[in-house]
Structure 1
């Protein structure tokens, strides 16, 4: 087959399941989500939210980078496992630094992030195979440049730290478009989709934990039980939005039917840009649920009501882009659901449990309508 015809045909790659070591690696990501949720819960001001968004994007860029890494380089040798554990150690340092990353822990955050980048680039270039290794060699200077900004920023005063870390985020966003060779990365569709689905499960688990934290020390009465069950129902509906009707299977099939370069571009947009708001929305909802559980029959402050309604809206907006990019379902009702979720904010200012109920009804209605349309 000629080179031209090979590049225009879908590429079949050797598939393998997500390894237990990758799942172990994800345990540190659970901790980063927990720390980001704690950070936002402690400071729901616009400044606090902005800091969480910056840190989440910085962390996700390299976390997703490790998903791409293990998709191309299975951790099946002792050296690869040791290096993956070194990257895991870097992520642990980052997670520990999150609560005070814009204060005294800034240097630790920056150094941990540099370690994560060095391990990622070194292992990818040395073992990624001809196409992926070459593409990574071109991308590595951008990744290490952003890591340098994060590390240097960690030693700067908080305002300049925010500037440096924002510049790092901008560099991350533009790097795939400045270096247009990312289409050379090999994407194993089944492994790639499964790994991202697992990280969504991990993040949703944080919302369940938030219910328990919010209920800690409170008497187990009918009010608390109802509030907890409504919170659980909302998290379940978010799970259904992502996994219902085999959306993950359809995403895998969509990737499989693309050429290699199309698959890499779709992986970047649908599983990178779209999953950032999906995961941010889950974190924000966890904060809203945590603030609601103990005050179900009281009104919420604007920050708490925005966390609930805005978190669901951000999550659904990410879902809209995810579906559009992979062409795997209608988005009309999810767009409407995004707007309706934001419209519940005034309800929360009146009564917390009423807003959670309204969100359960909104998301339940959009899922029911989508189910009816597919029937």
Structure 2
């Protein structure tokens, strides 16, 4: 127990699981991911997609802060419970302000500043609880102090300044805020704590499920209100299948192999796996899934809106690159995630990623639904090959055979 009974913080046990309050917290991220997808889909231009990416990066950095905190003190006990609800409120306001993160809409509060201040509030709540949690741990207290010195001042201050600017200067400040925050976290030291490797791995696995769930929601919302038809049914099932195949690619072997190494590691090596394999390599996975969501949404719009498109229309431009490129980015991040922890790379996934990039010109010439089916077929081939080719390794990892 840390602190007095009035401000009680309960350390996370080694065999802990993710708490229900942490899952509740993640619902805010579900909404934020949806808002980011909508922001990109509203105007799929290069500049607007960049803005959506930057908002996603900020919301990701918000989430990872609490993934580390929840591994040190129980999220659902004592003062931390109250802090989590306060952070959820501020994060929800930030998510609501996503459409206005870069430019204010008529009426109401000034959107960019609301987003920046809400984000600042979430970070300050996190810092306060971490500071209290490190009261009896000099090493952790030093790490928190070093991290906060640069991370809070860079990441949050530049966003507040960016809210008062516009155009290229505003985007430049956002990039500087995110890059500076991520770089400072990397360089600020390895004196963090991982109280429960199982809890930490589970937390990141669940956020992958959250993101994949958002891709399914985006697929359904894209055709909401349209009369059901065979193109909509087929496109929806293909989208669901692709999300399921990405789930398989992560959870069937890769996540378990990394978790086994993570549990065996100690000291700085364990901290670095937590930071690099999980915190850093999971971000491009999330970006890839959100990009996929944008592509799926556009495909379903093409096949469902007969007044503007026909079944022969091809998916082109940024939506096509988001559809295929999102899956490629996800696979590349999976390779990096596993390699950092295990030093192993399966040739199947780099080959699949390269094949998908090579198939983009063909996909651009096909009807949108056919391009989606081609993407699904390539992923089915990858998963089927891995399941047969690595059957013994798979049994060993999953069942200890």
TM-score by length of 1: 0.92
Q: Compare the two structures and name the one with the higher helix fraction.
A: 1
What are the residue-to-residue correspondences of 1:127-166 with 2, within 5 Å?
A: 127-128=133-134, 130=137, 131-145=139-153, 146-166=155-175
- Counterpart for residue 224 of structure 1: 232
Cα 1:294/1:176, change in 2 over 3 Å: closer
Alpha-carbon distance, 1:54 to partner: 1.5
For 2:20 and 2:182, the matched residues in 1 are separated by 30
Deviates more, 1:361-370 or 1:131-140: 131-140
User: Is 1:341 aligned to 2:348, yes or no?
Assistant: no
For 2:40 and 2:47, the matched residues in 1 are separated by 10
Contact 1:254 1:328 in 2 (8 A): no
Give the 3-state SS of the residue equivalent to 1:300 in structure 2: coil
Where in structure 2 are there 5+ consecutive unaligned residues?
Answer: 1-11, 105-110, 304-310, 392-401
- Counterpart for residue 362 of structure 1: 378
What are the residue-to-residue correspondences of 1:173-252 with 2, within 5 Å?
A: 173-180=182-189, 182-245=190-253, 247-252=254-259
- Counterpart for residue 308 of structure 1: 323
Cα 1:121/1:227, change in 2 over 3 Å: same
Alpha-carbon distance, 1:210 to partner: 1.4
Matching residue within 102, 126, 132 for 2:132? 126
Alpha-carbon distance, 1:337 to partner: 1.4
Contact 1:132 1:186 in 2 (8 A): no
Cα 1:142/1:15, change in 2 over 3 Å: farther
User: Is 1:291 aligned to 2:298, yes or no?
Assistant: yes
For 2:20 and 2:186, the matched residues in 1 are separated by 33
Contact 1:292 1:353 in 2 (8 A): yes
Contact 1:183 1:263 in 2 (8 A): no
For 2:116 and 2:374, the matched residues in 1 are separated by 41
Deviates more, 1:319-328 or 1:194-203: 319-328
For 2:262 and 2:331, the matched residues in 1 are separated by 21
For 1:240 and 1:157, the matched residues in 2 are separated by 42
User: Is 1:115 aligned to 2:131, yes or no?
Assistant: no
Alpha-carbon distance, 1:328 to partner: 7.2
For 2:362 and 2:94, the matched residues in 1 are separated by 37
May I ask how many residue pairs the two structures share in their alignment?
A: 362
For 2:166 and 2:48, the matched residues in 1 are separated by 16
- Counterpart for residue 112 of structure 2: 106
Alpha-carbon distance, 1:343 to partner: 2.7
- Counterpart for residue 86 of structure 1: 86
Contact 1:110 1:151 in 2 (8 A): yes
Give the 3-state SS of the residue equivalent to 1:159 in structure 2: helix
For 1:141 and 1:36, the matched residues in 2 are separated by 29
Deviations 1:184-209 (CA, angstroms, capped at 9, x unpaired): 42342100000111111111011111
Deviates more, 1:289-298 or 1:236-245: 289-298
Deviations 1:6-49 (CA, angstroms, capped at 9, x unpaired): xxxxxx96221111111111110111100001011112211112
For 1:329 and 1:213, the matched residues in 2 are separated by 39
- Counterpart for residue 19 of structure 2: 19
For 1:77 and 1:229, the matched residues in 2 are separated by 41
TM-score by length of 2: 0.86
For 1:187 and 1:340, the matched residues in 2 are separated by 41
- Counterpart for residue 260 of structure 2: 253
Deviations 1:81-104 (CA, angstroms, capped at 9, x unpaired): 111111111211111111121101
Alpha-carbon distance, 1:349 to partner: 2.4
Where in structure 1 are there 5+ consecutive unaligned residues?
Answer: 1-11
Alpha-carbon distance, 1:342 to partner: 2.1
Give the 3-state SS of the residue equivalent to 2:376 in structure 1: helix
- Counterpart for residue 345 of structure 2: 330
**Two-structure CA RMSD over aligned residues (Å):** 1.7
For 1:178 and 1:208, the matched residues in 2 are separated by 37
Contact 1:184 1:260 in 2 (8 A): no
Deviations 1:290-341 (CA, angstroms, capped at 9, x unpaired): 1101323221121221111111111111111111111175331111111222
Alpha-carbon distance, 1:123 to partner: 0.4
For 2:76 and 2:283, the matched residues in 1 are separated by 29
Contact 1:149 1:165 in 2 (8 A): yes
Contact 1:250 1:328 in 2 (8 A): no
Alpha-carbon distance, 1:364 to partner: 1.3
